[in-house]
Amino acid sequence: MSALPGVAQHLHARRAPALLAATALAVSVLVPTSSAAADTARGAAADTAAGATAADAEALVSAGPVVLVEDGDTAVVTISVQAADGGALAGPVTVGWRTGFGTATADADYDAGSGTVEFAAGTPSGAARTIEIRTRESEAGETAETVPVTLESRDAEVSEGPTVVVRAHDLPYLDERLSTEERVADLVSRMTLAEKVGQMTQAERGSVTGDPAVVTELGLGSILSGGGSTPAENTPEGWADAIDGFQRQALATRLQIPLIYGVDSVHGHGNLDGATILPHNIGLGATRDPLLVAKAEHMVATETRATGIPWTFAPCLCVVRDDRWGRTYESFGEHPALATVLGTAAIAGFQGKRLDSGKSVLATAKHFVADGDTAYGTGEGEYTVDQGITEQSRAHVEAVDLPPYAAAVAAGVGSVMPSFSSMDWTDDGLGNPVKMHANGELINGWLKDDHGFDGFVISDWQGIHQIPPLADDSPTTAQIVTGVNAGIDMFMEPSQFERFHTRLVAAVQAGEVTEERIDDAVSRILAAKFELGLFEEPFADRSHADEIGSADHRSLARKAVAESQVLLKNDGAALPLDTDASVYVAGRNADDLGNQAGGWTGTWQGFSGDVTEGTTILEGIQAAADDVTYSEDASAPTDGADVGIVVVGETPYAEGFGDVGGPEWAWDPADGGVPREEKSMALQPGDVEVVEKVCAEIETCVVLVVSGRPQLLTEQLGSIDALVASWLPGTEGDGVADVLFGERHFTGRLPVSWPRSADDPVVNVGDEDYDPLFPFGWGLSTGGRTSTLDERRLDLQDAVLDPAQGVPPQAAKALATSDVALLQGHEPRARHILNAAR
């Protein structure tokens, strides 16, 4: 796999930092020159310093767990002391140290030694001393070698001693002048089976934070942060420090294969406080602007990589066919042409021109395949749609669900994630669904063999645990073997990573999985790591950290918000508004950053309230207009208002907890154990009350729907002057105000058909009985430069819209099919369809 398809990539030279930073006073230590002298010195140091118990200690002595040093250089180990009360030391602390026996050979690879360091009474807590351990230059290339250092003290509690790691050097896989293919082949040839399986194993941050040495012990290939999984210090520096700590553990292995850290930056680095949050994909789908999408995702890549993360589990290439699905907002739209155009733009933005850039991340096309095409009522567990069964013909899946993946592979996407859902082909009769994590026909066959995908396949969160037969001790050997043989290369096992590792090694040894299959999987993973430049620079590139949440990034997101707004109705040219108008704002989503950001923000499910930094829609309106009154429930008097703006819609959710008719989430701290509102395609009763009250009392009534999918308001349509689909705009609510007050023109177009009735919520362009309230591609304008084709579309829209009944079926079909033709590059056909409908 190459960042540019078909081009062999050679990486820029870098030299990874060799030492942990030394602080405070450096203490010189006489290092013996013979092993006998070393033994004598080690014994003396132990006799001097040993004896303290944790119960008696009022101070803690510690050192960084891993100290890296180049072959032939001197390792500097920093030893620090912390007073129990955070103040100065009450008494002196003596720390004895000695080199131990690791994989390096004393007096051949390094100079063995021992000694003591002193911290006098009154020394400030956090003070540090350093010791030096000299290594000896080798004549030939070799793998990394370790020198454990033991720390002892009778005056303080001592944490586990550090390990000095002499870097691997002068081996072909470390030579960046070689091609990626050559480097991968050399490295794989040196790996043991256990090391290979380690590379195929991904653990969750929270599962290894308490025992980071497990990264070294298992040789883990990857760590992820799930939704809401953050380091103790949720800042760019805190993230980079935490990930660098895990990376040091990976570099303590003999081959020093770096970790690849992954996160769901699905609409921004949503776990990070202060990150710039974009509109969710459904909003980006409304922009119809691939260049903007590419720029926006490149911004996300920059903010993500600046925290030490080179891999995102995005974009979602699902083609949503039932808006009752809780992941509707993760889709660019209901037609494969739209998902294809914008999905490939997103991949280009994430991966950039070079994967080893500090502004690029590896992209993941997900969820392969047809996760947006599952049948209602087939969902996993209590879910109604999510993780369900796709009951379609091969021809349908080939035409509707697979095109975005074919384009993604052609664009060089680095990884692909299978869906939790199952495939049940109608061609051979329903009743034999196959979990996508077990679907070798599509993963090995369609994806890898037929379309030449040369990246790696990463399972979803414990995805193989759902492969039948289910078990209490998943992942079972059978589930692991099935997943590996189906073509999955890396396995997201957040908590059961050790069990996975043990059982896969045993399965290979038992002949249930061939080592050739293992080598293929590992080669794909290593190729991505080489192309990301992780072998040359495994640690976080923090040089762009000051761009996170910057004015430039927020300005770009604000533009995306403005372009995502879809004007569905605009009677009497209600919009744009005058900035000197008296504006009355109501509705629960007007001043709620969490509601406008949606799921995957702050936590997996997201939550209402101040989820991060940003501008609410109300704050944007207040900045644009001179006279603004706000009343969330519209209880304040409306007298004297020229215009009412009602902002209603949904509250946050993610995945199956957003399924209509599905379970209700209650487990974020903000929930306090109280289940969230039942999800529906209809506005909540409280929203309806506010809409009806404001629209009855104020002459000009504008309604904004902030949601991850269409919300039914057919009954209220006649009383609404201007109706806007605002989707989930993210942190930059002032982008909504920009189009309301004419700073920018409305240009957004529906990425999904807007249903007319709850009795018929599933409506997609191409249906024989296509009759939405507003069709796919619908979007009024408030001016600006347009093409001749756009003018014809806008004229037809103005001519056919019924203020109370929406768009008649025949016109809806013409407008939607014309839009599809345009997306597919058939402009003459699009023009012909519009002309015939006039």
> So which residues are the catalytic ones?
460, 655
| Residue reference for tokens 């706000």 | 630
Pairwise CA distance, residues 350 & 352, whole Å: 6
Nearest to 102 by CA among 62, 133, 141, 74: 133
Q: Are 239 and 307 in contact (CB under 8 A)?
A: yes
Ordered DSSP codes for 469-489: SP-TTPSPHHHHHHHHHHT--
CB 76, CB 20: distance < 8 Å: yes
Query: What is the C-alpha separation between 461 and 450, in angstroms, rounded?
Result: 26
As to burial, measured by CB atoms within 10 angstroms (0-12 exposed, 13-18 middle, 19+ buried), residue 769 is exposed
- Please name which of 18, 22, 64 lies closest in space to residue 168, comparing C-alpha atoms: 18
Paired with 66 in beta bridges are 163
Measured CA to CA, the distance from residue 663 to residue 670 in angstroms comes to 18
Q: Are strands 222-225 and 260-263 parallel, antiparallel or unpaired?
A: parallel
Question: What element of type H or E holds 627?
Answer: strand 627-631
**Strand runs labelled E in 362-477:** 364-368, 389-392, 415-418, 422-425, 434-435, 456-457
> Distance (Å, rounded) from C-alpha 597 to C-alpha 616?
10
Among candidate residues 259, 283, 263, 262, the one with its CA nearest the CA of residue 271: 263
Helix (H, G, I), strand (E, B) or coil at 243: helix
CA distance 419 to 459: 8
- Region of 505 on the Ramachandran plot (φ > 0 left; ψ -120 to 50 alpha; else beta): alpha
Show the tokens assigned to 63.
Answer: 């050192």
Question: Pairing state of beta strands 422-425 and 389-392?
Answer: parallel
**Residue 789 backbone zone (phi > 0: left; psi -120 to 50: alpha; other: beta):** alpha
> How many other CB atoms sit within 10 Å of the CB of residue 783?
10
Task: Please tell me the distance from the alpha carbon of residue 219 to that of residue 232, in angstroms, as a whole number.
Answer: 24
By DSSP bridging, strand 456-457 and strand 422-425 are: unpaired
| 56 contacts: CB under 8 Å, gap ≥ 6 | none
